[in-house]
Structure 1
Amino acid sequence: MFQGRLVQGYDFVDGDTDPSEVGAPYVNPAYGHGTHVSGIIALVAPEARIMPIRVLDENGEGDFWRIAEAIVWAANHGADVVNISFGYPQQTQLLRDLLDACSDGTTTTGKTFPEIGINRLFFSIAAGNSGDSTFIYPAADADDSNGSLAIGASTRFDRLAQFSTFHNRVKLVAPGENIVSAIPGDRYAFWSGTSMAAPIVSAVAALVKARYPNLNPVEIAERVEQTSVRISYGNPQIRINRVDALCAVTLIPPATCNP
């Protein structure tokens, strides 16, 4: 699946250029997670180049500084889209500022990141799997105004998945229930979670960027959100939209895609 699809990545856990999976199945909870996420991107955006970057250890643990380093590294090595399929219960100003800086070079706090070059990034961030409105970061800091979107999960029946976190910062959902993708050992598996939904949106953003290379991250976020399709939910006061790749890439007017 990944033959000819990968560009040079980095392992910020071990400090080397080999970001391969570490650990063992059924032993380490994070084993296979990155491969499965990457496989979804490869399936949805077949011509996208994937830059694998490892920031969490085999148990799915990591620190904010390592994540910030990885984002800066991605920006400086030509990435256009960053997928974040993990989250933390506590907010950090560092990552919040970094999301802002990577979209247009400015932050609401005035903090600057001279380490970031001129390249700008769109972020697709998994909202979490709490099944309620619990804030998980950095998803809860995402906003289309800074070129980032918090992504919930939908089912094959076009409904919000029961496990999906959902609140007013979650602007979009994507299929995230029983998603088939690659896992280590040349195998495939069905996994569920907003971790599986976020890379679908990342892949759609990559398709949009490929067709319209002059769009900046904010414009990509707005296009992906505005061309999404409203789906069913028990509370009519809550609006839930599911990403639509065709509408986003062809720039079909939102009214046509989202009656």
Structure 2
Amino acid sequence: MEAMKRLALLALLLGTAFLLTACPLNPPPPPPPPASTCSPTSTGSLSTLALREPQGLGDFSAPHVPGELLLLPGGLAPQSLAARVQGVEVRRALEGGFLQVKVPPGQEEAKAKALLQAGARWVQPNYLYFPLYVPNDPLYPASPLDASRLQPYYQAIRLEAAWDLLGSLPFTPVVAVLDTAFNPTHPDLQASLLPGRNLTPDGLPPENLSPSPPPQGFAYGSGDADHGQGVAGLVAAVADNNEGIPGVGLNRVKVLPLKVFYWVSGSYSSTSAVLASAIRYAADQGAAVVNLSLGSPTPLDRVVQGALGYALSKGTLPVAASGNAGADGLYYPAAYPGVLAVGSAKLDGTRSDFSNCSTAPTDLVLAAAGNRNPSQTLWSLALGQNYPYYRTLGAYARWAGTSFAAPQASALAALYVAKYYARYGQGPGPDQIRLCLTRTASNGGRYDPQTGYGLLRADRVMTDPTYCFP
């Protein structure tokens, strides 16, 4: 009878607990994902797109050669067009009908507008291109011998191009990671971690971020407690230190580690009360972003909803994993209004087979974070320290799941906050961050049931003059 009671209690907890949404390298074989109910869409291919002659102005916020413009004359003779705008000198004709012209340095945009008014069809800067930054972390560069290297995953969201645009940032944003456990002494994360807090009632001190001791008769599964360290690593693992991996934040973002998972009557999970308390704590500490690589199918959690509303009112953006059921309908808290939901894409840009999608339009974007079949995994951190009741995966592990898409979006959001602050002297609000990341994603501002607004485009987040830097 006692055993039956325990089984019933465990089933109830598993039905309501907040579930981790990532997969370690060697989990038990999962059941096949349910058939997705999201409507597939045709994406076409680059080769089918017609090349249309441009009209208007280029983007003068991007790096370009001072004192030079490139233009389509629009049917006017080159010298005739130049004669209509003072200070413009034709240098040479380029292939494709373009002209390269000289203008006074610092007046590129003004002269471009004048040329457009004088009859030119298209005027743009002579843009600068750079070798993309590649950090020296050994698990980063792509390798045919190791398909889990991070470079292809980061390149999928154009992160290297965004890194080249960061420059000096006077403001260091904070991403609060609410998760399982953390090792503050890990050599690839130590410099990026702020003093964290254990917000669970597991009997350990508030400053102890170790995995919670399980009750007698229960034990961790492989990778369970390493999850939080892996999520934090993708946000802010130290770059250019010849160790492991670089985080998306490239040494410009700090992590506030908050332990919210513990053993609740035999289930390793979190609760409404603990999670809501942690969200409010993160907002009170001034976190720009709260990363929630966790989820539940239970929607009517007024306690957590209230905490999310509080965070938004304090200027903190919640970012949450969409869920790993491979079906239509986001898990919560990703589905709540005001939250940036993040699903996972394969390296070819299509939705991962485990990633939840949504036929109902919502603030959903994707980052490349693996696949189940065929298998794709990516490197991130593990705890790297064993405990009396838990043996870690090691210092690094291969992971896959929407849990590892969310921290990429969280760190990118934080970099955008820092870039915005550098330009305007103040940070953007949560609505502005969400607008920037969704509308610059790969679907061009259109919502798709399979992929939401599409893959994140970090390069556009750092430069877009319409949605990001209006």
Tell me by how many angstroms 1:170 deviates.
5.5
User: How far apart are the structure 1 equivalents of 2:269 and 2:220?
Assistant: 16
- Equivalent residues of 2:413, 2:437 under 8 A apart: yes
2:368 corresponding residue in structure 1: 175
1:140 corresponding residue in structure 2: 335
Give the alignment's Cα RMSD to 1 decimal. Answer: 2.3
1:106-125 CA-to-partner distances (Å, cap 9, x unmatched) read xxxxxxxxxxxxx4211110
1:216-253 CA-to-partner distances (Å, cap 9, x unmatched) read 1110111111111129xxxx775541111111122255
2:432 corresponding residue in structure 1: 219
User: How far apart are the structure 2 equivalents of 1:49 and 1:228?
Assistant: 24
**Kindly tell me: are residues 132 and 10 of structure 1, through their superposed partners in 2, closer, same or farther at Cα, counting changes over 3 Å?**
same
Tell me by how many angstroms 1:78 deviates.
2.0
- Equivalent residues of 2:369, 2:404 under 8 A apart: yes
Q: Where in structure 2 are the equivalents of 1:56-71 lying within 5 Å?
A: 56-57=261-262, 60-71=268-279
Q: Where in structure 2 are the equivalents of 1:106-145 lying within 5 Å?
A: 119-141=314-336, 143=337
1:39-75 CA-to-partner distances (Å, cap 9, x unmatched) read 0111100221000001012654111010011111111
Q: Given the alignment, which residue of 277, 296, 309 partners 1:100?
A: 309
Q: Provide the aligned length of Structure 1 versus Structure 2.
A: 232
Which runs of at least 4 in structure 1 moved beyond 4 Å after TM superposition?
22-26, 236-239
What amino acid is aligned across from residue 406 of structure 2 in structure 1? A
Percent identity among equivalent residues?
28
1:11 corresponding residue in structure 2: 198
Q: Where in structure 2 are the equivalents of 1:234-249 lying within 5 Å?
A: 240=452, 241-249=454-462
2:230 corresponding residue in structure 1: 36
TM (norm. structure 1) is 0.82
Tell me by how many angstroms 1:30 deviates.
2.1
**Kindly tell me: are residues 245 and 140 of structure 1, through their superposed partners in 2, closer, same or farther at Cα, counting changes over 3 Å?**
same
1:156-184 CA-to-partner distances (Å, cap 9, x unmatched) read 11110011011133521111101210111
**Kindly tell me: are residues 60 and 224 of structure 1, through their superposed partners in 2, closer, same or farther at Cα, counting changes over 3 Å?**
farther
Q: Secondary structure at the match of 1:246?
A: helix
**Kindly tell me: are residues 226 and 210 of structure 1, through their superposed partners in 2, closer, same or farther at Cα, counting changes over 3 Å?**
same
- Equivalent residues of 1:227, 1:252 under 8 A apart: no
User: How far apart are the structure 2 equivalents of 1:191 and 1:31?
Assistant: 13
**Kindly tell me: are residues 176 and 252 of structure 1, through their superposed partners in 2, closer, same or farther at Cα, counting changes over 3 Å?**
farther
Q: 57-66 or 148-157: which moved more?
A: 57-66
- Equivalent residues of 2:234, 2:380 under 8 A apart: yes
- Equivalent residues of 2:351, 2:451 under 8 A apart: no
Q: Secondary structure at the match of 1:82?
A: strand
User: How far apart are the structure 2 equivalents of 1:127 and 1:237?
Assistant: 13
Q: Where in structure 2 are the equivalents of 1:174-193 lying within 5 Å?
A: 174-177=367-370, 178-185=377-384, 187-193=395-401
User: How far apart are the structure 2 equivalents of 1:61 and 1:239?
Assistant: 28
Q: Given the alignment, which residue of 399, 416, 426 partners 1:208?
A: 416
Q: Secondary structure at the match of 1:124?
A: strand
**Kindly tell me: are residues 170 and 221 of structure 1, through their superposed partners in 2, closer, same or farther at Cα, counting changes over 3 Å?**
closer
User: How far apart are the structure 2 equivalents of 1:34 and 1:72?
Assistant: 19
Q: Which runs of 5+ in 1 are unaligned?
A: 105-118, 255-259
